[in-house]
Structure 1
């Protein structure tokens, strides 16, 4: 290998290692987002004016979709390259996107909301009023009704004062919203209120979160037909949607019938990875163009024009090689990339896919040798990266599932998978009432379910565990190292 080739490999590896923000859309550079966001046609149904619920699992791209449209205003550029999707008017002066949640200090923290719920004996109907009151507050600039000043005066975190003021002005408040909708219609404008990260409303209190979600859905199920120009977009994690819908009744059924699902086919995942690689760095873009055809867009950058998963195989085989070892028995690289980041339901998602390549490039760059050009990453670096991705994936999930540390601590007693169902139930039931935070804490964090058996069912439902055909319980590679587990008979990473 020449010095020039070695320097180029190092440069390309550095570009791959920083092609995303550790795979998290929340930390993505806003200037780079237009060149990394991959527009999946089904996902864009989320912006059909009549679609309210947008459902997807952790890491499916809900936040990135939210940022691309609401923060970056990319809908016109995206619509130009993905025709056939029903969208609101794309002119900036006719459509306005407003965040309904999260809205920082203008909404109560999870401690404030938790305290309010316990003191007021809240139910779904009370949460309808909570969401209505805070809807009025985020629409203050549009309504401009002096009779509603009392609703705007309390601090956003003082939920009791906000609700009290709303109840005292409820009739005027509802008339003001009706009047705003009529004015928007007369002016041929739309307002979209978007709600994201609802699973963070009350940390570790899933029953309160589901109650709040049912209240939000109840509000918009009632008013979506009433208001034609004030519309909403509610982004829900799949498991939260399913559990809330089970007790949501007719309100959920109305909105669920026309929901948008954020699912990812393998083709779209490979296209997303190729697009991120090509737009991360000019030289890396040239490297990718040798094997994949791209179209140049002035706003969105390089867009792969390939239409099948197999069209991306030459790129990843050029980068890593065709096999995960000496021959096919070690695994085909192209399949391995996604198969080893699938959750227990068989779903592979963008966040761990991006992070796997980033981490592998970083490990390869810091190693003692580089593969022969044009290879950039050796299979052993990819295998080592998988453990790192698993640990980071579990860590990133703690905001939504803070009890995972308690789960990991308990699983250390039976750290090799797969397990017989009775063994895992028995292991988790032991010390069930002890703290589920680690190190131990007095904070009242509890896992979902009232018993170990219910918890295991939930873990299977969300893909942390997987039920095998022989009845045993397994853990996918995506969570294996993060939970401190090993596969029985497995070979350690070099």
Structure 2
């Protein structure tokens, strides 16, 4: 019988296994990192046009995986979605610079300033993906869009012919959209551009049988775009979300550990039992680790981090404590935050508690949560700088806090004036400035709170007071009695 790995062996395996960089742009999917949680099945259905998810939940990962023939076949097999095997997939928009496939940020800004209808922009992208020969000969996107506007009949025939050919071949054209926060720095323009994508997606869904869009999008951007075109509510009926259960998060960790090529990983697989390898060398989790046997998962994690966050159960259970303190205001945990926290916990333990009986010390887990909070706040500051402007005035305070107090703090710092000036500044900056999106209602503090709640940065308690989840609270230097403190250094 295989015995458990020692603390240092687990520590080395985790160091080898956890990705050094958990940013979506640097962590490329491959056969060994592809993980298929049950909760993501609906997002992979070809007819799931909209896939909602916050930062770090896997939107870009799935976008890239679906563009890869091999990974798409693996997903089809593991999810039992046969239609994924019969796809022609194209990128309609993404973070990578691909001017032959879709216009970049600077070009989109020029097109928007020329008052070109977003629907026509994305129609040109669609026809390019479908191989419209006259469009392929045009280099500039403004010329492609002009061709679409001047040739509505030829455009419709291209769609009809592509749909018919796909029907005869038993395939589907799938056009993928990701990184929509990079479309335009002005929130109103970004909403219009996203709305154009969704309006065309709905037209293809209603008017063709074999041309489909899949749009990976932040929930707040989806909600804003729906305001701009009729029948938009039809897209919500089949919208899917990339959510992560606690069992899926630990399943991801164990998947990484079991798919490493070291002897320690081999011992880990023999210890947990039931692993199977496919022809590509990818190792599949045993059902107890994959399908949600949380008791078994907790037992395995206790071998790594001990059962408790201190001397006894009163300090909390390590298995539940970590995801609970990484959860945002809408009760979602980003796997990126989860893996980042574990990576920091390992390095903290190795540096300060090397003689600890477990691979991860509970103080390392606390430090990991603090680091994950700092990362999450930095990310939200990159995507939406206005969030930091809104929450910074709460620094030094303690939550839960009365909404009236929040509004008073905002009034003291003249937040609405600052937000208005920020919006004007982004509108006038040069085209190479990173894209930013602001709040929809900068002049209405009450609606600002509701938007922060929708983003998961805040949450409203039953007594109507405002709270901040730890994953934001810690790095924003907001206190909570008995909560995880922010530790400098």
TM-score (norm 1): 0.85
Show the counterpart of 2:179. 197
Contact 1:13/1:362 (CA < 8 Å) preserved in 2? no
Aligned partner of residue 175 in structure 2, secondary structure? strand
Deviation of 1:298 after TM superposition, in Å, equals 3.5
How far residue 281 of structure 1 moved from its aligned partner, in angstroms, is 4.8
Q: From 352, 373, 380, give the equivalent of 2:363.
A: 380
Q: Is the 8 A contact 1:15 1:284 kept in 2?
A: no
**Is the CA contact 2:172–2:212 (under 8 Å) kept in the aligned structure 1?**
yes
- Asked if 1:240 corresponds to 2:226, the answer is no
Match of 1:36 in 2: 33
Confirm or deny that 1:354 pairs with 2:339. yes
Question: What is the CA-CA distance between 1:427 and the residue it aligns to?
Answer: 1.9
How far residue 471 of structure 1 moved from its aligned partner, in angstroms, is: 1.7
2:480 to 456, 479, 487: 487
Q: SS of the counterpart of 2:31?
A: helix
| Stretch deviating more after TM superposition (226-235 or 445-454) | 445-454
How far did 1:71 drift? 2.6
1:473 aligns with 2:466: yes
Q: Distance in 2 between matches of 1:229 and 1:285?
A: 44
- The 1:440/1:284 distance shift into structure 2, 3 A limit, reads farther
Aligned length: 464
Counterpart Cα distance in 2 of 1:398 and 1:171: 45
Q: 1:324 aligns with which of 305, 309, 322?
A: 309
Is the deviation greater in 39-48 or in 390-399? 39-48
Cα deviation digits, residues 253-282 of structure 1 (max 9, x gap) = 323222223222222222122112222453
Give the aligned partner of residue 59 of structure 1: 56
Which residue matches 2:88?
A: 96
Please, what TM-score do these two structures have when normalized by structure 2?
0.85
* 1:416–1:488 contact (8 Å) kept in structure 2: yes
Deviation at 1:317, TM superposition (A): 0.5
User: CA–CA distance in 2 between the matches of 1:482 and 1:231?
Assistant: 41
1:456 deviates by: 1.1
CA shift in 2, pair 1:362/1:298, >3 Å: farther
Identify the range of structure 1 (453-462 vs 277-286) with the bigger mean alpha-carbon deviation. Answer: 277-286
RMSD: 2.9
Give the structure 2 partner of residue 24 of structure 1.
23
| Alpha-carbon distance between aligned partners in 1 of 2:182 and 2:309, rounded to the nearest angstrom | 39
Aligned runs of 1:272-421 on 2, under 5 Å?
A: 272-282=252-262, 283-287=264-268, 289-291=270-272, 293-299=274-280, 300-306=282-288, 307=291, 308-367=293-352, 369-372=354-357, 375-412=358-395, 414-421=396-403
- Contact 2:98-2:104 within 8 A present in 1 as well: yes
Counterpart residue number, 1:454: 447
- Cα distance, 1:202 vs. partner? 1.3
2:139 maps to what in 1? 153
Question: 2: distance between equivalents of 1:104 and 1:245?
Answer: 27
Change (3 A) 1:137 1:82: closer
Give the match's secondary structure for 1:257.
coil
Offset at residue 371 of structure 1 (A): 1.1
Contact 1:34/1:301 (CA < 8 Å) preserved in 2?
Answer: no
Q: Are 2:246 and 1:266 equivalent residues in the alignment?
A: yes
